[in-house]
Structure 1
Amino acid sequence: MLNSSEIRLVECPRDAIQGIGDFIPTQKKITYINGLLASELFEYIDFGSFVSPKAVPQVVDTVEVLDGLEKGKTKLLAIVANERGAEAASKLGQIDYLGYPFSISETFQKRNANSTVEESLERVKRICDLLQFGKQDLVVYISMAFGNPYGDLWHEDLVLGWIERLSDLGIKRFSIADTTSEASVEAISTLYRLVANQFSSIELSLHLHARIEEALLKVNAAYEVGCRRFEGAFLGFGGCPFAKDDLVGNIPMELLLDRFGKGNPQQIMQLMDAFQEMIGNNDV
């Protein structure tokens, strides 16, 4: 029987808007994210990113957005791609988590962070050193965890091996990410079970991208093998602009809220409308 109190949801407006070309005014972002915070429906919110503004212009105002947020119980996460971003973010006490995208696909890691996978491991080590005496925790996103569209080597043991090497650094939080919607329902069940069984002491979340007709099937498959922390974005927006041209959006947050009995229909509709108001006529 479903116990909705066991479910933790992570809303990802940063992921939802990062590929939108027309710049969304800072105040619109602040208003929207404050609405998410006030709802208290989410464990944490992926609100911004400390990456090159040339690479992702939409998040150039992350610090200004942070300054305008009215934080309550809900925690905040910001994405970093290197030591420079981590150092800047580590000085901001309102941020609870830093997220590092660690792709196990060599091609995508080059595209996304201009480094090899081994070089990325060294970056993570240095970021851990930066955070050693701070209050922030590092969340490592295992990107391309279910395969990749580039023909790079992939298998479940590769995922497990990288999580083992990263967890040996003391990292306790991981997000298993399907960046380009490679995962089948069966693959989600198999990989999540393997990771959860081998690494019972770490905290796991699942960051899926899926076409709408597959989204609920994938969520249910993960839930049935023990996943209790899911990431998504309202209206299913999102996708990494460095991945490939045919972007597949996030799991719609409204689907997750409905599936796990969180919020009420009026509240959910208000948040959906607020997201649409923020993005206006923009699309990805």
Structure 2
Amino acid sequence: MKIIECPRDAMQGLTEFVPTATKTAYLNALLRVGFDTLDFGSFVSPKAIPQLRDTAEVLAGLDLSQTRTRLLAIVANLRGAETAVTHPEIEFIGFPLSVSETFQQRNTNKSILEALAELAQMQNLCEKSGKQLVTYLSMGFGNPYGDPWSPEVVGEFTQTLADMGVGIVALSDTVGASTPATIAPLFGQLIPAFPQIEFGAHLHTTPTSWREKVAAAYQAGCRRFDGALGGFGGCPMAADVLTGNMATENLLAYFQEKGEELGLNLEVLAEAQALAGGVFGAVVH
């Protein structure tokens, strides 16, 4: 079972800039918790995501000496990937490839065909640099724009990624559109069809629908889940009203019920929750 903690996704939509020192202290606490991976920052245009313009400075302040957690950085183009791979501390490079043409343009200012061409270059770059590319299939459970979507479409995208050699694919519920009726069949079909790929669930949700979504993915065989403490954040490019990230607390509660051994330091988790109040302007319970 892999839990990917995503403070980058939680912070990126905040309008008030969080000081670098505050970010760094929060991320260092999260590192000590022992998550599998920390989605800590992004190398994108400061004009697009001003909140994360200090990712390189934050990275320089992270203490990786006593953690098993690996670092993931998000990029929106090849230039960002070229910057990210120069940092030896970063193991994973994440790129959002959308199943929706409208959202691909809105999120990365390029067409799906252009994004696929650039993604192939990123995969090659990662292979040469000893990194792993994580591809997020944005709008993986449907979209509000009327663009074509079906399990077959998602399967075709996945086949293209498999042909490139991509090893990790996270189905992303960018606007909270997923339901158990869409989640279970997708994972149920894709996981056995592509055994060489590790599939993840990046689910956005409301406070009342999280359990059924997690259960659907878990029961269909998914063992990689993204979350963010407090359920903060979402994609600022997706909608005017943000649908929250999957709350890490809910993921942990569910998997503990299922008897999964997560190996996390819960005392440090409480410390991180306290620090989250300084980052997001509210106390996380």
> Structure 1-normalised TM-score?
0.94
CA RMSD of aligned residues (A): 1.4
2:78 equivalent to 1:83: yes
Distance verdict in 2 for CA 1:267–1:114, change over 3 Å:
same
2:259 matched residue in structure 1: none
Secondary structure at the counterpart of residue 133 of structure 1: helix
Amino acid at match of 1:47: F
Q: Deviations over 1:231-264 (max 9, x none)?
A: 0101101111110112101110011112222447
2:45 equivalent to 1:52: yes
2-side partners of 1:264 and 1:186: how far apart? 34
Identity of aligned residues (%): 44
1:249 matched residue in structure 2: 244
Amino acid at match of 1:170: G
Secondary structure at the counterpart of residue 171 of structure 2: strand
Q: Deviations over 1:61-96 (max 9, x none)?
A: 000000000113110000011111000111110000
2:121 equivalent to 1:126: yes
Check the 8 A contact 2:205/2:246 in 1, yes or no. Answer: yes
Q: How does 1:128-207 map to 2 (within 5 A)?
A: 128-207=123-202
1:33 matched residue in structure 2: 27
1-side partners of 2:268 and 2:55: how far apart? 26
What is the number of equivalent residue pairs in this alignment? 275
Which has the larger displacement, 255-264 or 113-122?
Answer: 255-264
Which has the larger displacement, 172-181 or 268-277?
Answer: 268-277
2:205 matched residue in structure 1: 210
Give structure 1 stretches of 5+ with no counterpart.
1-6
Check the 8 A contact 2:4/2:36 in 1, yes or no. Answer: yes
Check the 8 A contact 2:276/2:282 in 1, yes or no. Answer: no
2:274 equivalent to 1:273: yes
Q: Deviations over 1:117-161 (max 9, x none)?
A: 111100101112222321211000011000001111111110000
2-side partners of 1:39 and 1:131: how far apart? 27
1-side partners of 2:24 and 2:107: how far apart? 26
Q: CA deviation at 1:217?
A: 1.3
Give structure 2 stretches of 5+ with no counterpart.
257-261
1:12 matched residue in structure 2: 6
Check the 8 A contact 2:33/2:269 in 1, yes or no. Answer: no
Check the 8 A contact 1:100/1:139 in 2, yes or no. Answer: yes
Amino acid at match of 2:14: I
Check the 8 A contact 1:254/1:268 in 2, yes or no. Answer: no
1-side partners of 2:171 and 2:52: how far apart? 23
Amino acid at match of 1:26: T
Distance verdict in 2 for CA 1:258–1:264, change over 3 Å:
farther
> Structure 2-normalised TM-score?
0.93
Match of 2:225 among 230, 251, 260: 230
Q: Deviations over 1:37-73 (max 9, x none)?
A: 1111x11000000111001000000000000001131
Secondary structure at the counterpart of residue 94 of structure 2: strand
Amino acid at match of 2:97: F
1:68 matched residue in structure 2: 61
